[in-house]
Amino acid sequence: MAYTEGRGPRLHWERTGARAGEPILWITGFTISAAVFDPVLPLYADRFDCVTYDNRGSGRSAAPLRPLSMPELAGDAVRVLDAAGLESAHVYGLSMGGMIAQELAIRFPERVRGLVLGCSTPGGPRAIRPTARELAALGGGAVRGLREPGRPMLARMLFSDEFRAREPERARELLRHFAAHRARPHGVAGHWWASVYHDTVARLGRIQAPTLVLHGGADRMAPIANARLLARRIPDATLRVVEGAGHAYLLEAPEASHELFLDWLDARPAPVAAGRAHTGLAARAEPFTRALGLPVGALRTGRSLAALSASRLPAPRRARGRPSG
């Protein structure tokens, strides 16, 4: 294990796997430490150089006492790549980690080879929310989970009903990785605000990296319609569904998701090159827009909301002209 040095909060990161292999930067989700990847990394370690880290505000990384933004979290991913001595890597982001990965690919295309967005969303008002029925099912399951010893309510949100019924012991074991290195309250708040004002819908067309959008077919936390939206708006994107798996498809169906990833990667000409770096004003402005990530995100979200509201207004009727003569 190691920690980043220099400017910025100290970040905990680790490296495992084949140093001569293609690098993968793994980005974890909302307030969860990189320990969540431990059960699946052995599947990738024989071929890939795997770098994992805890986002600022969570796990073993520093948690500054101020709000956070996705651009800042994307900048942290660049700092981890620098600490590992990697000019670029495949980037695999899960859930909120997929949001960070989108921002990373948009802002720093030269650092991203292939992009994998797992159980994620573009965020903002135009993203798809769970239906009332899905929310009721999650809420009801949470209430029942409080009364069922050994079956934490988190399992109902992460895993499919079939998986929990078929392999209850494994589901409980996997939950231990979600509970490792719990985030502090102000870190949770920071991740919350970063997620609320994440909105990439209008910018997804800027992603240069070939992209694999992976989603669990039984995901009730992040509706699969978000995966379709991502795949539709990213120029070189492929959508694959892990059938029957829930939000934590990577843990619930590790072999199936590993196979889908390899099939996608091996179908592309090797090696996959990183994108072209921004130049001119876009490059010079990036540090400033990153520092203002939260208010800029709020403005983008407001603009998306206004556009969405306008699209739902009824079309104005044409005024009827008086007949001539």
Mean pLDDT by 10 residues, the chain (325 residues): 89 96 97 97 98 97 93 97 98 98 98 98 86 51 43 83 96 95 94 94 97 96 95 98 98 98 96 96 92 88 82 62 47
The domain made up of 2-129+183-308 has a fold known as: Rossmann fold (3.40.50)
Cα 214 to chain center, whole Å?
11
Backbone angles phi, psi at 156, to 5 degrees: -70, -30
Beta-strand pair 12-17/48-53 = antiparallel
Q: Name the pTM for this structure.
A: 0.90
Rounded distance, CA 122 to CA 142, Å? 26
Measured on CA atoms in the order 184, 187, 193, 198, is the torsion positive or negative?
negative
Cis amide linkage into residue 271, ω under 30° from 0? yes
Domain boundaries, the chain: 2-129+183-308
What whole-number distance in Å separates Cα of residue 242 and Cα of residue 259? 10
Q: What does pLDDT average to over the chain?
A: 90
Distance CA(123)–CA(135), nearest Å, equals 18
Helix (H) or strand (E) holding 23: strand 22-27
